[in-house]
Structure 1
Amino acid sequence: MRVVSVVSTKGGVGKTTVAANLGGILADAGLRVLLLDLDSQPTLSSYYALRHATAAGAYELVALNLTDPAQIISTTVITGLDLVLSNDDQGRLNTLLLHAPDGRLRLRNLLDTFRPRYDVLLIDTQGARSVLLEMAILASDLALSPITPEMLAARELRRGTLKLLNELEPFRHLGIAPPPLRLLLNQVNDIKSDTRMIMRSLRETFSGASAIRVLQTVIPDRVAYLNAASLGLPVHRVEARRLVGRSSTSALETMQALAIELFPDWHEIVSSMNGRPED
């Protein structure tokens, strides 16, 4: 099971949209996907309609070590896409983990239960520095950080997300290395010259970094992503073909490229998708 946390210490960069759509395309490709919503504002938990909702969720998983799938895993209307609901609206988990001896390693120690059941676990996190965010990162094989092409977002990346990852380096002494970081340019309007400048600067900044890489895939600022969220559908189902008169890629092609870049082992099954599956 691959574990990917979608992270940023800055809110409003599109973490939930990326997690929901990445999970949707992987599930439609035939993979078994589990979404874990660790954001106290449960946007991911309400993105897709549910076939079955459990009473327990992320709070019971983390606070009580409850791993029984029948009690904590809800099923969405997307075949192959399951969800652990966010149910910590009062933010109690951060306080609990802060005082627990295994706080930052709690999730990592619980994941073996889910490995036989799923191909990938996608974790949506809070848009702020927290123990909960650190726990998610330390449980992950890969951290994916959406970044919008604006100067403030680029500055926050350095003083927020990158600083956090650096401060997790001491866990290497326990045999736990912070995961490699992939930066995803999101909500990109390719018309603006300052957008192109920031994108170029980010790529140049991290061109020689071994653990940090700016992905080649770029998520455009398109109404299709808003429409998909309104409909509760993966965006690749909403825009499966290029619009007439537009040379840029469709949402299906964009999400395929992202999935393949993150999971090259699944290139064949993801690239073979060309339509909406029957649920």
Structure 2
Amino acid sequence: MRVVSVVSTKGGVGKTTVTANLGGLLADAGLRVLLLDLDSQPTLSSYYALSHKADAGAYDFIALNLAMTAQIISRTVIAGLDLIASNDDQGRLSTLLLHAPDGRLRLRNLLGNFRTYYDVLLIDTQGARSVLLEMAILASDFVLSPIAPEMLAARELQRGTLKLLSELEPFRHRGIPPLPLRLLLNQVNAIRVDTRMIIHSLRETFAGTTNISVLDTVVPDRVAYLNAASLGLPVHRIEPRQSRERRSPSALETMQALAIELFPEWREAISSVSRCVEIR
């Protein structure tokens, strides 16, 4: 099972949108996908309608070590896409984990129960530094960080997400190597000159960096993503074809490119989603 945390210490960069749509695309590719909502503002938990709602959720899973799948896993209406919903609206988990001996490693220790059931676990996290965020990162194979191409977001990346990852490096002494960071340019308006300059600067900054890379895939600022969220559907089902008015790729092409870049081992399955969408 591949485990990916979608992370940014800055709010409003589109973490939940990326998590929901990436999960939907991978599920339509035939992969078994589990979403874990660790945000106390549970937007991901309500993105998709549920065909089955579990009695418990993320709080019970982590605070009580409740790993019985029938009790904590909800089924979405998207075949192959399951969810552990957020139910920690008072933010109790962070306080609990801060004082627990295994706090930052608890999720990592709990995931063994899921590895035979799922191909991918996508974790949606809070938009602020917390022990809960650190726990999610330390449980992951790599970190995906959406970043808006604007100067304030670029500055926050340096003093927020990058600083956090560097401070977690001592966990290599516990057998957890420094995690790869994948930066995803998100909500991009390619017309703006300053946007192109910031994108170029980011790519130059991290060129040749071992553990940090700026993905080739760029997610445009598109109304299709808002429409998909309103309808509770993956965006690739809303916009499977390129618009005649735009030269940029369709949402389907964008999400496929992102999924293949992150999970090249499943390229063939991901590429076949276009045929599934046409059938729908």
TM-score clears 0.5: yes
Letter in 2 for 1:138: L
Letter in 1 for 2:47: Y
What's the offset of the Cα at 1:277? 7.9
Kindly tell me the number of residue pairs found equivalent between the two proteins: 279
The residue that corresponds to 1:230 in the other structure is 230
The residue that corresponds to 1:91 in the other structure is 91
- Counterpart mapping for 1:200-215 below 5 A: 200-215=200-215
The residue that corresponds to 1:37 in the other structure is 37
- Counterpart mapping for 1:7-156 below 5 A: 7-156=7-156
C-alpha distance in 1 between matches for 2:278 and 2:144? 27
C-alpha distance in 2 between matches for 1:212 and 1:186? 17
Matched, 1:272 2:272: yes
What's the offset of the Cα at 1:266? 0.5
**Alpha-carbon RMSD:** 1.0
Preserved CA contact (<8 Å) 1:138 1:178: no
Q: Which sections of structure 2, spanning at least 5 residues, go unmatched?
A: none
Letter in 2 for 1:132: L
C-alpha distance in 2 between matches for 1:17 and 1:240? 17
C-alpha distance in 2 between matches for 1:278 and 1:57? 34
State the TM-score, normalized to the length of structure 2. Answer: 0.98
C-alpha distance in 2 between matches for 1:135 and 1:221? 31
C-alpha distance in 2 between matches for 1:246 and 1:128? 35
The residue that corresponds to 2:219 in the other structure is 219
C-alpha distance in 2 between matches for 1:50 and 1:111? 23
Q: Which sections of structure 1, spanning at least 5 residues, go unmatched?
A: none
Deviations 1:221-279 (A, max 9, x none): 00000000000000000000001132110000000000000000001110122143889
C-alpha distance in 2 between matches for 1:266 and 1:218? 20
C-alpha distance in 1 between matches for 2:193 and 2:88? 41
The residue that corresponds to 1:250 in the other structure is 250
Preserved CA contact (<8 Å) 1:59 1:93: yes
Letter in 1 for 2:224: A
State the TM-score, normalized to the length of structure 1. Answer: 0.99
Question: What SS does structure 1 have at the residue aligned with 2:122?
Answer: strand
The residue that corresponds to 1:187 in the other structure is 187
